[in-house]
Structure 1
């Protein structure tokens, strides 16, 4: 290393040259190539490859202490035992290459493995078959030159995609997600046969995954992973599977942390995880289980996002790729490795065939006697060569000196016991094997496909997909967060916030909510919840703001300026720019709001208008119905109430919703209701309409069609509830051991009832919400008798309407094989008249301009 010094008045500058300028690049290259990033050729990082090589050298069919394996690996790996032990535990926990014994930790709970001296390991049968093949392995010297180690192991399987990999190097990182064993084999077969295929991750922790943005695992893609959460009882949730990258301890901590912050509300949590995950989350009474499930996904580790990064070492340099390209490369490499193995096998068979024929000729023709008189070694060789010459016409290659030397090594005992028939059988079997090997080489793709099928048959059992693929619904945090604080306001001074406890209480809210506020002078603002925020003096209304909420309607009467005319208008606020003041009454500073109401479902009340006595006005009081006013944008001017001064406005009568019924659909993919037209249309719902939900366990619910509700795919009925429409069910009564049919009406709204008896043997067999259903009943065939004819039943004639708790009429005491729904009898149902809105004409904007697009 050399140094150049420059001197100036301010001091000296030393330029560092020589090895310094290369050191960082050398270090970065070493970390990338030798430590952090796996090789595409075999799917191993160097430490993993050396562990597998050490296990193969130690393999005798019995378990080895991991401490012994680690020590043996240190002959090849120039690092400490801790890194080797950690890498070996990770391989063992993936349950593919290493057959483990002892406490190897638990990926579900996050518990670590026992010390290396206590646990044992050996290579799995799968690893012995797929990973090793010494005859086609390329070898190199170990770091100290004393041993040989493989450059790459001849892996005949997409191992890297099966196990996944993660590593952080210098300047880059890699994150390859694990995929399903059987699906990788199926994809390899599809590729070899020229068919398309798709690959998605599958995690040992199971869970639910959304792969809609996976993008083949390349850079820029992502997947979302969720825990599997089910409602076990009314106030009890159970987490049965966890997202990849978490464990039950970290998941439990995240739930407790969210509870402390007030994002969710739970009573207690229990972790009963052993072989399977079981985390019990107990809820306080009055807390919605569906909403809590969404909150767990929104505010805890029950949902996370994973961004894959497919970086691998290929041809001794890092490359970015995707899982489809990696699988194709693996399938091609497997085909090439199998070809090399077949070629070596063919050479060995040809060599065996050649010497078997030479041996037969040598012994059958008693050529060994020709060497009895020879006194020199060259004479022996020459005699054998001369004796063989007349008989070697059928051999496939020339006889070499080495062949003749090998013949001289045949023992006398073997010559004396030589059996010509057995020798001929051996040659014929070798011929068959050679033909078979040649056939495999000529049909290499089919041979490789059969190889993959063989792997799946022998090792694929028990390796079915664990992670369920599903499209996730987007959860808005503001809709599911627990209202963990209280909002107050000082109307006169114009302040609003959570710290104004001495002032007027407004509503419960959360710290991530937005608040909408209206003032007396016609100003509107949306702002974040804070401890104390100034809006403007004389607040007339404040509440939690719901983005894109078109059903909340604000009714307002205002005066545009002092002494000016009075206007009436109705509007909704679906989106605004946060912390921006909006003028709803024009730009005059003397504008004033005379009447204001916020209506969550578009209600339209009736008010009385009283004018001041002025001149010759004859009518000083009259009623106005807000239902006569069309709902417009917030910037609309509205309709003229009076050009004369208004004394006051009095509330007279509450009104009903003037909004049109909203169409609600059910999206079976995500198990949610929606108003965007996804899935099956359930009907047009008014504000008071309810949803009918019947479950296989016999629970019948009528409930508000809340978009936060979650429905499992096994429900029997999910539709708009008609209180006049009967529900018909056939059920098996466990105590009486008979089948009953009953029809009933649900007498009141928002109710949950069990239509079966509480006996554990009771079971719901059939349900219908048709007006006049018909059914056909099939009975099992009696032994030795003719089958009983199906029984047709007119449900309406069979039983009259009874109460929900009634037992019903006995349908059959015999065992029923199947209940079939027939075409229902005709029934004229009255059409429901749609709600109408009254059109308003001659409206104009308060500022004379059109409504502008919203930024929020």
Structure 2
């Protein structure tokens, strides 16, 4: 068979077969592919469970150990040394070494090793240096229990696996793509891994979650133990410096400051967000300043950064590792158990070797003592042959070796003959006995460790934590994220127009009527004179139907916007009145809001963002014996129902016109708002603490630990700082009481005040850096208790109660307040407030709205909007 015949051997003969017949790859091609795939999986891309290393990483660590003399080595030198074991180029070795060094665990680095925060690359390998860290020297190497194999060229020996006595794979993480297989084990916290290992050894359950060197905030709700199908959401830490400036202090894992800034600029160019400029002040720590134009909400911009930029991303873990030369999928909990159990076995092997060595030392020390103390060496003076010497010593030892733990071998006797005369002459019996006693103590201690192996392993992990845990605290904060709806936070970057007569809606109809600002991801809702409705995506030009009467941006699940409508049912039919919400629909489907008869016509229509109910006047045409041609109708008397409801009959006679007589007030109940402390957000879904019932004019009172007080609109998109200490519905007539420490005067002051300007932030303590807010109360008549510091040599002053209302009158918010006491205060405690009955304000009459499910299943009267009503008359 020639070469060409050999190459074609693996293909089946398809002569006469149809064109789509399957061609099977067999023979040499099948073997080659499997060999290559196996090699990439086992030897390059996927780490081993035994030590957590890929082959190149293992060979780098082995080379560093061989070169280790306590001093730094040029990385180029280490790379060259590693090439004795790794049959690939120097670039791949250098890159792998830099990645290990940047994790700051196994390699003590010197020079420019790059920056994981900015994405800057490391300097060339000839300019940077490395040596093994103390941690690596302690937990990775143990030559006596290491299994060795020949290197690829047979000239050297390299470890099959390093005896790592720590869950290193989980500490460092691993990522790799092989042939048809990939792995992504996320890094975990050093201290938490040790704690989890100890819990496992104690038989307790544990949970471990990722921790990233770039810090940031993470949501591990769907981590799924690091198995396939899991997901982690990661976010940058963004804070609000002032109303026009945001600062990004930490970035998500997998990004760097350059890529993050690029994503923000790209989102700005697309109109998703609006920013003025970005400053990157990152050095040792991340600091990216995002400057906003005036009038742009910082809270909304933060949400938009998470929704449209790399400030939030998701990471899908995939726990694939090599065990017994086969790739398997495994969760991080099982990985930690395996690693911990392996550590116990390695510690056991080391103890057994140590015990064997100690017993050998004790055995020979005992022989040496017998040999010298009983002058057995004199019995070889007359022997002329080597065999005679061995036999003479053996005979001389026999009476004294009954207490030994094993038999005396010829090798032992040979070692005795090698003892120098100088050592025999200086032999000290007491020192020899002390040495044997210390060996026996160490043997007993080692046996005790072996007998209590789990306790020994626990002590080992605790010692690691004591020595190396400093500076390795958790960096990524674990939180539960709130879901951000892109349509609620996107910047309205374009304008919507309508040609009512022709029935076109879009962003390119600049010569027609302007409707509102919108974004390219919005939906719009359109109503026509025929009583039909459709929701569609914003586009440059869309035909809906002729005679459009209302168009607006559609808010999904909006249970507050109420539509008031009167329509004529068909030609010559009666007129009906109805009120309804639109919360969920099928996009691009035309809905009929009338009774479905041909030639139906809308006589009156209004859109009311806050459930307003106006009063209208109905005028009838003169027809026959009609006596009453004009009367008023109040929409407040009409129940809000589903959009498919027929409505109530207005009149069976022809309507001449309908006029708006009086604008209406909201007929909806105040909206109940809750605060969810887990995600730090307001909601209307009954999650967390109920803050109260809010009308459109009601505000929230917010106080933080720094002493800033403000009132805000209860916007569901609002964000709250971690140092917030008061969040409640604001009562403008209710005084706020505060006790603070003045850093300049070094005295405690108390003040009572009312908020003077709504929607403005005020500092209620002095600006001295040592000033701090001690206590704040929003009760009507608070009482506090003062505990005083005990003076030296004197009795402590009795605790003193202060009635705040009696102590100080209500003053301005900027007032300094009254000095609380001149004595040194130890603690200030809030006591139960004095009783007070708040005067009941007369609330306006509200019309009860029947809660009714429409055909889409949505509740029709829990709406949410404060825009002005839009009314159309015909």
User: What is the TM-score with the length of structure 2 in the denominator?
Assistant: 0.94
CA–CA separation in structure 2 for the residues paired with 1:40 and 1:371: 57
Pick the aligned partner of 1:149 from 158, 168, 178.
158
Please state how far the C-alpha of 1:16 moved relative to its aligned partner: 7.8
In 1: Cα distance, 2:850 partner to 2:131 partner: 83
Equivalent residue number for residue 125 of structure 1: 134
Deviation per CA, 1:679-736: give whole Å up to 9, x if none.
Answer: 1110011222111112223322222110000112322211111122222222344555
The alignment status of 1:379 with 2:379, answered yes or no, reads no
Deviations 1:775-799 (A, max 9, x none): 2223322333322233322222223
Question: What secondary structure sits across from 2:612 in the alignment?
Answer: coil
Alpha-carbon distance between aligned partners in 2 of 1:607 and 1:499, rounded to the nearest angstrom:
36
Point out the more displaced range, 450-459 or 650-659: 650-659
- Alignment match, 1:851: 855
* Deviation at residue 169 of structure 1 after TM alignment: 0.4
Alpha-carbon distance in 2 for matches of 1:191, 1:837: 62
Instruction: Spell out the pairing of 1:650-729 with structure 2 (5 A cutoff).
Output: 650-729=659-738
Q: How does 1:235-274 map to 2 (within 5 A)?
A: 235-274=244-283
Map Cα deviations across residues 206-256 of structure 1 (whole Å, 9 max, x no partner). Answer: 100000111111111111000011111221111111100001111111111
> 1:645 Cα shift?
1.2
Residues 588 and 16 of structure 1, relative CA distance in 2, 3 Å threshold: closer
Corresponding residue number in structure 2 for 1:515 = 524
C-alpha RMSD of matched pairs (Å): 2.1
In 1, Cα distance between the equivalents of 2:598 and 2:761?
Answer: 55
Cα–Cα, structure 1 residues 352 and 497, in superposed 2: closer, same or farther, change >3 Å?
same
Q: Is the 8 A contact 1:105 1:111 kept in 2?
A: yes
Work out whether 1:803 is the aligned partner of 2:812: yes
Alignment of 1:810-829 (within 5 A): 810-829=819-838
Task: Confirm or deny that 1:837 pairs with 2:847.
Answer: yes
Instruction: Summarize the Cα distance change of 1:363–1:700 in structure 2 as closer, same or farther, 3 Å threshold.
Output: same
- 2:789 is equivalent to residue 780 of structure 1: yes
Change (3 A) 1:381 1:738: closer
Task: Kindly indicate whether residue 545 of structure 2 is the aligned counterpart of residue 545 of structure 1.
Answer: no
Q: Which runs of 5+ in 2 are unaligned?
A: 1-5, 859-874
Does structure 2 conserve the Cα–Cα contact (< 8 Å) formed by 1:154 and 1:337? yes
Q: How many residues align?
A: 848
Q: For 1:31, what is the secondary structure of its paired residue?
A: helix
Instruction: Please give the alpha-carbon distance, in whole angstroms, between the structure 2 residues aligned to 1:398 and 1:737.
Output: 82
Equivalent in the alignment of 1:370: 379
**Counterpart for residue 864 of structure 2:** none
- The aligned counterpart of 2:169 is 160
Aligned-pair distance for 1:838? 4.5
8 Å contact kept, 1:560–1:566: yes
Q: How does 1:226-305 map to 2 (within 5 A)?
A: 226-305=235-314
Rounded to whole Å, the distance in 2 between the matches of 1:839 and 1:399 is 102
Q: Distance in 2 between matches of 1:502 and 1:813?
A: 74
Give the C-alpha shift of residue 153 in structure 1: 0.5
CA contact (8 A) 1:206 1:244 kept: yes
- Listed one character per residue, the Cα deviations across residues 285-318 of structure 1 (whole Å, up to 9, x for unaligned) are 1111111111110000010000000000000000
Structure-2 change in CA distance of 1:400 and 1:688 (3 Å): same
How far residue 748 of structure 1 moved from its aligned partner, in angstroms, is 5.2
CA separation in 2, counterparts of 1:320 and 1:288?
46
Q: CA offset at residue 264 of structure 1?
A: 0.8
Of 613-622 and 669-678, more deviation after overlay is shown by 613-622
Is the 8 Å Cα contact of residues 185 and 456 (structure 1) preserved in structure 2?
Answer: yes
In the other structure, the counterpart of 1:746 is: 755
User: Is the 2:196–2:207 Cα contact (8 Å) retained in structure 1?
Assistant: yes
- C-alpha contact (below 8 Å) 2:667/2:848 kept by paired residues: no
3-state DSSP of counterpart to 1:298: helix
Counterpart secondary structure, 1:413? helix
- Cα separation, 2, equivalents of 1:275 and 1:116: 22
Counterpart-to-counterpart distance in 2, 1:774 and 1:473: 38
Residue of structure 2 aligned with 1:172, choices 172, 181, 185: 181
Contact 1:665/1:676 (CA < 8 Å) preserved in 2? Answer: yes
Matched-pair contact (CA < 8 Å) for 1:657–1:687: no
CA distance in 2, matches of 1:767, 1:468: 28
Q: In the alignment, is the contact (CA less than 8 A) between 2:535 and 2:586 conserved in 1?
A: yes
State the partner residue of 2:485.
476
Separation in structure 1 between the aligned mates of residue 60 and residue 427 of structure 2, nearest angstrom: 47
**Which of 360, 372, 378 is the equivalent residue of 2:369?**
360
The gaps in structure 1 that reach 5 residues or longer are none
Question: 5 Å matches for 1:403-414?
Answer: 403-414=412-423
Contact 2:667–2:849 (Cα < 8 Å) also in 1? no
Deviation readout 1:597-651 (Å, 9 max, x if unpaired): 1111111111111111112222222211111111111111111111111111111
Report the Cα distance in structure 2 between the residues aligned to 1:769 and 1:108, rounded to whole angstroms.
Answer: 44
- The superposition leaves residues 651-697 of structure 1 with CA deviations (integer Å, 9 ceiling, x where unpaired) of 12111111111211111111100111111110011222111112223
User: Whole-Å Cα distance in 2 between the matches of residues 7 and 443 of structure 1?
Assistant: 69
Pick which of 611-620 and 48-57 moved more. 611-620
Give the distance between the partners of 1:15 and 1:797, measured in 2 at CA: 95
Deviation of 1:99 after TM superposition, in Å, equals 0.5
Q: Match for residue 351 of structure 1? A: 360
1: CA distance, partners of 2:302 / 2:551:
29
Q: Which deviates more, 678-687 or 139-148?
A: 678-687
Q: Distance in 2 between matches of 1:568 and 1:8?
A: 77
TM-superposed CA distance for 1:8, in Å, is: 6.0
Q: Does structure 1 residue 607 correspond to structure 2 residue 640?
A: no
The 1:616–1:329 alpha-carbon spacing in structure 2 relative to 1, beyond 3 Å, is same
Q: How does 1:66-465 map to 2 (within 5 A)?
A: 66-465=75-474
Query: In the TM superposition, what are the counterparts of 1:630-641 in structure 2 within 5 Å?
Result: 630-641=639-650
Task: State the shift of 1:7 in Å.
Answer: 9.8
Structure 1 pair 382/747, CA: closer, same or farther in 2 (3 Å)? closer
Q: Distance in 2 between the 1:761 and 1:3 partners?
A: 85
Q: Is the 8 A contact 1:158 1:327 kept in 2?
A: yes
Q: Distance in 1 between matches of 2:324 and 2:405?
A: 40
